[in-house]
Structure 1
Amino acid sequence: MYQALLTRKYLTSKILPLLAACAVMLCTLTVLVVWSIMGGFLTSLIESGRAHVGDVSIEWPNAGYAYYDELVSDLENRDEIKAAAATIESFAVVQYPDKRYRMLLLIGVEPKSYNRITGFQDSLWWRPLNEAGKKDRAGRDIRVVSLAPLLEVWIPEACNASIQRIDEMISLSSGWNNSIPDSLKDARQRLVTLAQDSTKLARQSRPDDPPAEALLAFRTQAGEVFNTVSTIVYSLDDAKTHAGNAFTLAQVWSQKRDDRPQLGNTMSDLGRALERLGSADVRRARLNDKLANGLSLTVEDPRSGARIPGILLGTEHSTYNQRERDGYYTPIEQVSIRQSDGSYADVRVPIAGYNVTLNLMPSGSGTSKLDSVMRSLPVANEFKTGIYEIDSGFGMVQLDTLQSLLNMQETEEIAPISDPYAVVVRPDGTTAFPEPTVTGRSPARVTNVIVRGADGVDLAKVKAACQSVYAEFARRHAGKVPREEQIKFVTWRDKKATLVAAVEKEIIMMLLIMGVISATVSFLILAIFWAIVREKTKDIGILRAMGASRRGVSAVWLGYALIIGLIGSLAGGVLAHVVVWNINEIHDWMGKTLGISVWSPEVYYISKIPNQIDSGRALLVVCAGMFFSVLGAMIPAVLAARMDPVKSLRFE
C-alpha cells in the first residue's frame, strides 16, 4: 500500500520526474515515427512488386515461347494458383508531340486477364469522380464532376478573395473626388450576392446536383455578375488620370502584397470556376470515354469510328501533367514545339488524347536485331499506382498489338524453295517461277506468364506449382518450347531482392541508432532517481524503521520508474500516431511555408509518405520505453534498499 501512496506523492510533487517522462515520450515518438515510415516504405515496395508482376513470373525474354494459352489454362487448374495471364515485356523509346524522347518498359496485356492479376483498372487516372478528394475541398480536380464542391467552396472562396482585395481598393480610393469608390462598392455587393446564392443553391440540392433549370438560372446570373464586375475592375487600369493615387491602386490590382493573391488572379480564378460549372456535362462524357478507352486499351478513330489500339502511360512519364499540392493533376493543354526553321509553335495537347510514337526492336524470326519499327498510338488513358518507379517508367498496350510490332504474332511456316531459278510449266502452257509452299503455322508467342497465388498459399508453394506445371507443359511440347531448366521462374521478391534487402538493412541500422540514442533515457532516469534517493534518504530511513523490507523499498522506486515510463511511452505513442497519420499534411506545410521538401518521389519510389502505424510495432516500442525506464531506476532502487536505517535517519 505504501508503495502506491509514495509513488503518487513523488509523481505529483516533483518536476524532475515529469522531465524524465518527457524524455521517454520523445524517444518513443522518434523511434515509432521512423519505424512506421521506413516500414511503410518497405511495405509499399513489396506491394508494388506483387501488384506489377504477380506472385511468380514465368519468363523467357526476347524470343518468347508459344502455346501460352494452354499454359495459362494448366496453371489456373492448380489449387495453389488463383489466376494467370500472358504478357510481353519490351523496352521502347517513346517520342512525344514536342519531340522529346523517353525510355519505357512496354507491357503487352490482355486487359481482363491482366486485371485479375494486378487490378490495374483501379489505377486508371482519368475517370469521373462524384466526390472531391480529402484535400481538394473546392473540387478543382478536373475529374470531379459533382457540382457541390464547386458551388459550396470554390465559387464562394473566389468571390470572397476578390471582395477582400476590392475592400482594400475602396479604402485607397475613398478620398478621391470621383465615382471609383461607388463603382467598387457595386462590384463588391454583386460578388457578395453571388457567393451567397452559390452556397444556397448547393445546400438546397444536396446530395444531388441542382436541377437543370435552377442551374441554368444561376449560371446566367453568375455570368452577368462576372462580366459586370470584370468591366468595373478592369476599367480601373486606366486610373493613371488620378495622379499620385494611380500607382497605389494599380499595385492592388496587379501586384502581390503581404502574401495575398492579386485581384486579377482572384477574378481569373472565379472565371475558371464558372467555366468549370458550364462544362460539367461535357467533362463527364469526356472522362467516361477516357475510362472506357483505358479499360479496353483502345481509342475510337475520329475518322472511321472504329476502335483502334491505344497506349496506357503513367501519370509521371510525360510532362503534360502538372501535379498540384492537393495531390491531383492539372493537364497542360499547350506545349511549345520547335519547328524546322528554329522557331517555336504552340500546340494543344488534350487530356490523354495525344499520339506518341513508339520505337521498338523486333525479336521475331527472320528479323535483324538492328532493325527497328515505329508505330504511332493514341494515348487511351493514364494510370497512377502511387509507386513512382512504375508511374514514370511503364506503359501498356494490347497483347496482340505488341505481338505484331515485335513479330511475335501467329505466322505461316513456308518451306524453302530447293531451286529458286527453276521454271514451272502451268496447265495452260505458260511458265512461272515455283511458288512457296505453306507447311504449317507458327503460333504466337509471349515473353511472360504472370501468376497470382491463391489466398493464404505460401510463395514457395506457388513457385513450386508453377515449375511443376511448366515441366509437364514442356514435355508435351518438347522441341517447340524452352526446356524447364532454360525458363526463369521469378518471384516478386526476387525482382525486388536488392532494393528490399537494402531497405531492410537500412531500417535495422536506423532502429539500432535510434535505440542507442533512446537508451540514454535510462541514464537520465538513473541521474534523476539518484538525486531523488539522496534527497529522500530520511524518508527511506523512516520506512525501514517502520518495518519496510529492502524489497519493499526498492519496489517504491521501480514502481515509480514504471509509472514514469508508462506515462511517457503512452504519450509518445499517441503523438507518434498523430504525426504519422498527418505526415503528408505536415510535409506539405513545410514545403509551402518553409520551402523544405524532404520526401522526393524520384528518390523514394512512392509518391506519398507512408502514414500507417502497425499496432504490434507500437506496442513493442511502448514496452521498450517502459523497460528502459525501469532499467535506469534499478541502481538507485538497489541503493535505497541497501541504506542503513540508523544512518539514514541521521542524514542531513
Structure 2
Amino acid sequence: MYKYLLCWRYLRTRYIALASIISVMLGVATMIVVNSVMAGFADKMRDRLHGVLADLIVESDSFEGFFNYEEVMARVKEVGGDEVVAMAPTMETPGMLRFKYGSDSRNHPVQIIGVRPEERAKTGDFAEHLFDQNGKPIPPSFEVSDELKAQSPAGQRLRELKDEAPDPFMDATRQYLEQQQDAQVPIHGAIIGYALATYHLGHDRPDLYLAPMGTKAMLAFPKHTKVPEAGLDDFTVVGYFKSGMSEYDSTHVYVPLEELQRARKLIRDSDGKGAVNHIQIKVREGADLDVLADKLQLALERLAPMKFRVFTWEQKQGPLLAAVAVEQSILNILLFFIIAVAGFGILATFSMIVVEKTRDIGIMKALGASTSGVRNIFLGYGLMLGAVGSGVGMIGGLIFVRYINEIEKLLSVVLKHKVFDDSIYYFDRIPTLIEPHTVVAIVAGALFIAVGASIWPARRAAKMHPVKALRFE
C-alpha cells in the first residue's frame, strides 16, 4: 500500500513533474489531431479518386485502342460473373481546349474522354460530379437544350422574330439565323472540368465563369492517320465536372464517345464500329479487386497476348496514395519526438528524486521495504505521469478534432486571413477521421515511453544498500 501512497503524494506535490505531464499531454494531443486530419484528407481523397475512376480499368496498350470491345466486355463478364456489375467503354486522348472569353481566346491542355454518359454513370460516381452553372446537379447527358441555343446571338434574334408575319424575306432571315445558331451553338455537347471553366476570386466571393453554359468550345486532338494530323471539332459546354480533385477538374473534358471516334477517324468502314482504349468496370461491393484483376488479366492475355492491361483504381493512383502514406508516416515520426522529449524529462526528474531521497530510500529499506517495492514506487510514478498526461492529451485532442472547424473560423478572424483555404482542396470543411486503433496506439506509446524512462532511476534506487544509503547521505 505504501507504494501507491508515495506515488500519489509525489504526483500531487512535485510540481516539476507537471512539466513532464504537459509534454506528454501536448505530444498525445498533437498526434491525435494531426493523424485525424491526415486520415480525413486521405479518406476524402480516396473517395474522390475512386469516384472518378471505376473499380477496375481495362486499358489498351495502343493509343488508338481496339475495335472488338464488345468481345472484350463479354470475356470480362464471363470471367467475372456476378462480381461484375456494370461496364462502360471509353476513349481517352490528350488534346487542347480553346474557347473565347470576351475578346481573348483561352487555350488549355486537356485530357479528352469520350463516354456514353448513362453507361459511365453506372460504373462509378461520374453522375454525382456533374453540375450546372448554378451549382445544381444535372443528369449525365450531352444534350444541347433549346434554352442554350436561344442564348446565342442568333437564337436571341430568332426569338425576337418569332411573332413576325411570314413572308419570303422573313423566311429567308429565319433560315439564315438558324444556320448561324447552329454555327454558334454546336449540336454536340461537352462537359468540361470546373477549374477549366472558372476563375477563383477568393475572399468568399463566387467563382467567375470564363466558359458559361452555352459557350462554344473547340477541341484539338490527334487523328488516327498514317501521317500525324491534328483533328478539330466544336462542342457546346452543357455542364461542369467538379470532383474536388484539381488533377481532374483542371484537365478533364467529356464528350460523346461516337463523336470523338468519328472525329479521330477511329470508325471501321467494314461494320461502322468505333474503337475504344479503356473499359471501366464496376465490381460488386466486397469483391477482392486484386484477385479479380489478376483473373481478368490472364483471360484477356489468352484473348489477345500483350494487348490489354488490367488495373485496380488504387494501382492507377498508386504513386499519389503512396505519397500521402509516406507523408503521414514522416509526420508521426517527427511528432513522436515530442513525447520522447517528455520521456527524457521524466528520466531527469526521477534521477534527481533518487539523489534527493537517498536517505529516505535507505530508511524505507531498513524498515523492511523490499527491492521490488522500491523499484515499483518509481515505475508506478512513471506510469501515473504517463497515464495522466496521455489521458488529458487524448481528451483534449479529441475535443479539438470535434470543434476543429469552429477553431479554424475563430483563428481566421483573429489572424485576419483564412487558415484553411477551401479553394485549394474544394472542401467546405476540414475533413477529419478518428481511427480508434490509432488513438490507442498513441496513448500506449506515450505510456511505454513514460514507464521506460523511469526504469533506470527505479533500478538505481532499488539497488541501494540501506546502510550505505544512510552512511553517505
TM class, shorter-length? 0.7 to 0.9
Q: Distance in 2 between matches of 1:367 and 1:111?
A: 31
On the 8 A contact 1:64/1:446 being kept in 2, the answer is yes
**Percent identity between the aligned chains?**
29
Shift of 1:523: 0.9
Letter in 2 for 1:531: M
Cα deviation, 1:123-172, whole Å, max 9, x if unaligned, reads 23449xxxxxxxxxxxxxx66xxxxxxxxxxxxxxxxxxxxxxxxxxxxx
Match of 1:393 among 251, 256, 267: 251
Distance 1:492 1:510, change over 3 A: same
Shift of 1:65: 0.9
Distance 1:321 1:445, change over 3 A: same
Match of 2:233 among 341, 350, 374: 374
TM-score, scaled relative to structure 2: 0.80
Q: Does 1:408 align with 2:266?
A: yes
On the 8 A contact 2:191/2:253 being kept in 1, the answer is yes
Q: Distance in 1 between matches of 2:424 and 2:254?
A: 24
On the 8 A contact 2:346/2:454 being kept in 1, the answer is yes
Which position in structure 1 is the counterpart of 2:76? Answer: 75
Which position in structure 2 is the counterpart of 1:551? Answer: 372
More displaced stretch, 103-112 vs 39-48: 39-48
Letter in 2 for 1:75: V
Larger Rg: 1
On the 8 A contact 1:584/1:611 being kept in 2, the answer is no
Q: Distance in 1 between matches of 2:131 and 2:55?
A: 25
Which position in structure 1 is the counterpart of 2:191? Answer: 312
Cα deviation, 1:558-607, whole Å, max 9, x if unaligned, reads 11111211221122223333344444554555555436667678987988
Distance 1:315 1:575, change over 3 A: farther
Which position in structure 2 is the counterpart of 1:244? Answer: none
Which position in structure 2 is the counterpart of 1:109? Answer: 115
Cα deviation, 1:405-459, whole Å, max 9, x if unaligned, reads 32334x5x3xxxxxxxxxxxxxxxxxxxxxxxxxx32421111012233333333
Shift of 1:30: 2.8
On the 8 A contact 1:62/1:363 being kept in 2, the answer is no
Q: Does 1:523 align with 2:344?
A: yes
On the 8 A contact 2:258/2:274 being kept in 1, the answer is no
Which position in structure 2 is the counterpart of 1:18? Answer: 18
Secondary structure of 1:386's counterpart equals: coil
Which position in structure 1 is the counterpart of 2:221? Answer: 361
Letter in 1 for 2:12: T
Q: Does 1:540 align with 2:361?
A: yes
On the 8 A contact 2:96/2:219 being kept in 1, the answer is yes
Q: Does 1:301 align with 2:146?
A: yes
Shift of 1:47: 3.9
On the 8 A contact 1:17/1:528 being kept in 2, the answer is yes
Which position in structure 2 is the counterpart of 1:330? Answer: 206
On the 8 A contact 2:301/2:307 being kept in 1, the answer is no
Q: Distance in 2 between matches of 1:110 and 1:494?
A: 24
Shift of 1:620: 0.6
Letter in 1 for 2:232: V
Which position in structure 1 is the counterpart of 2:169? Answer: none
On the 8 A contact 1:315/1:391 being kept in 2, the answer is yes
Shift of 1:608: 6.3
Q: Distance in 2 between matches of 1:401 and 1:57?
A: 22
On the 8 A contact 1:124/1:382 being kept in 2, the answer is yes
Q: Distance in 2 between matches of 1:299 and 1:73?
A: 33
Which position in structure 2 is the counterpart of 1:86? Answer: 89
Q: Distance in 2 between matches of 1:553 and 1:54?
A: 63
Letter in 2 for 1:25: M
Match of 2:287 among 441, 457, 464: 457
Gaps of 5+ in 1: 128-141, 144-286, 336-348, 414-439, 475-482
Cα deviation, 1:305-362, whole Å, max 9, x if unaligned, reads 999542223332222555564xxx72536x7xxxxxxxxxxxxx7xx42314132224
Secondary structure of 1:95's counterpart equals: strand
Q: Distance in 2 between matches of 1:615 and 1:515?
A: 18
On the 8 A contact 2:52/2:125 being kept in 1, the answer is no
On the 8 A contact 2:223/2:229 being kept in 1, the answer is no
Cα deviation, 1:55-81, whole Å, max 9, x if unaligned, reads 332112421112323433432342443
Which position in structure 2 is the counterpart of 1:124? Answer: 130
Letter in 2 for 1:111: P
Q: Distance in 2 between matches of 1:39 and 1:332?
A: 32
Q: Does 1:96 align with 2:99?
A: yes
Q: Distance in 2 between matches of 1:545 and 1:575?
A: 44
Which position in structure 2 is the counterpart of 1:617? Answer: 438
On the 8 A contact 2:231/2:264 being kept in 1, the answer is no
Q: Distance in 1 between matches of 2:247 and 2:420?
A: 15
Q: Distance in 2 between matches of 1:503 and 1:8?
A: 44
Q: Distance in 1 between matches of 2:418 and 2:466?
A: 61
On the 8 A contact 1:315/1:321 being kept in 2, the answer is no
Q: Does 1:626 align with 2:471?
A: no
Cα deviation, 1:250-304, whole Å, max 9, x if unaligned, reads xxxxxxxxxxxxxxxxxxxxxxxxxxxxxxxxxxxxx4xxx34x42232313359
On the 8 A contact 2:379/2:455 being kept in 1, the answer is yes
Mapping for residues 506-521 of structure 1, pairs under 5 Å = 506-521=327-342
Gaps of 5+ in 2: 156-181
Q: Distance in 1 between matches of 2:430 and 2:216?
A: 32
Distance 1:356 1:579, change over 3 A: farther
More displaced stretch, 590-599 vs 309-318: 590-599
Distance 1:484 1:600, change over 3 A: farther
Which position in structure 1 is the counterpart of 2:33? Answer: 33
Letter in 2 for 1:388: S
Distance 1:589 1:309, change over 3 A: farther
Mapping for residues 471-620 of structure 1, pairs under 5 Å = 471=301, 474=303, 483-584=304-405, 586-587=407-408, 589-591=410-412, 593-594=414-415, 609-620=430-441
On the 8 A contact 2:405/2:429 being kept in 1, the answer is yes
Distance 1:321 1:585, change over 3 A: same
On the 8 A contact 1:525/1:633 being kept in 2, the answer is yes
Secondary structure of 1:484's counterpart equals: coil
On the 8 A contact 1:387/1:606 being kept in 2, the answer is no
Q: Distance in 2 between matches of 1:628 and 1:119?
A: 46
Secondary structure of 1:118's counterpart equals: coil
On the 8 A contact 1:88/1:108 being kept in 2, the answer is yes
How many residue pairs get aligned? The number is: 433
